[in-house]
Amino acid sequence: MAKAAITVGRRAPEFALPDQDGKPVKLSRLAGRWVVLYFYPKDDTPGCTTEACEFTDGIRAFEGLDVVVLGCSADTPESHRKFIAKHGLKVALLSDADRSVMKTYGAWGEKTMYGRTSMGVIRSTVVIDPNGVVAHHWPNVKAAGHAEKVRAKLAELRGDAA
């Protein structure tokens, strides 16, 4: 597995990636808001669909906590648009075609599945506070049920009732 290049309590690395509409999303432009940045392997695959749909199902709760939820994979903006349309997703999806942000955030590296070792996306999530500091990091995530764990952690971090 890749060693996470981020540390809780330290400034989150800046990024600027195109969203599903090709519009640039920069972390620095989200200052003052909580950000959930989750990394996933591929649009419209079973685990990735589960995770994106669960974040979408809980989007009102995230918005109520003033949280921006961003999914990130190496898929193209066009692929993201199709994924969003097919499943009615309400989260923005970022395209990291060269995997540079994934590498910076420790979400790209060696992983083992079914006894085979390969390079790939490590499903992981980072919570960034309004000051741009890493507030929490899940370095290896199981898709099902993860969105609710993130929401509960955000409520805890913000001092709200879970």
pLDDT confidence of residue 2: 43
CATH number for region 16-157: 3.40.30.10
For position 111, what pLDDT does the model report?
Answer: 83
Blockwise average pLDDT, block size 10, the chain, 162 residues:
72 97 97 97 95 96 92 98 98 97 94 86 96 96 95 90 50
Rounded CA-CA distance 157/154 in Å is: 5
pLDDT at res. 119? 92
Q: Known catalytic residue: 53? A: no
- The pTM is what? 0.93
> What are the residue boundaries of the structural domains of the chain, listed by start?
16-157
User: From edge to edge, which strands make up the β-sheet containing 124-128?
Assistant: 92-95, 67-73, 34-39, 124-128, 134-138
Q: In the prediction, which pLDDT does 161 show?
A: 54
**Residue 38: per-residue pLDDT:** 98
pLDDT of residue 162: 45
- Residue 66: the pLDDT is 87
| Catalytically annotated residue among 48, 91, 92, 127 | 48
d(CA 49, CA 136): 23
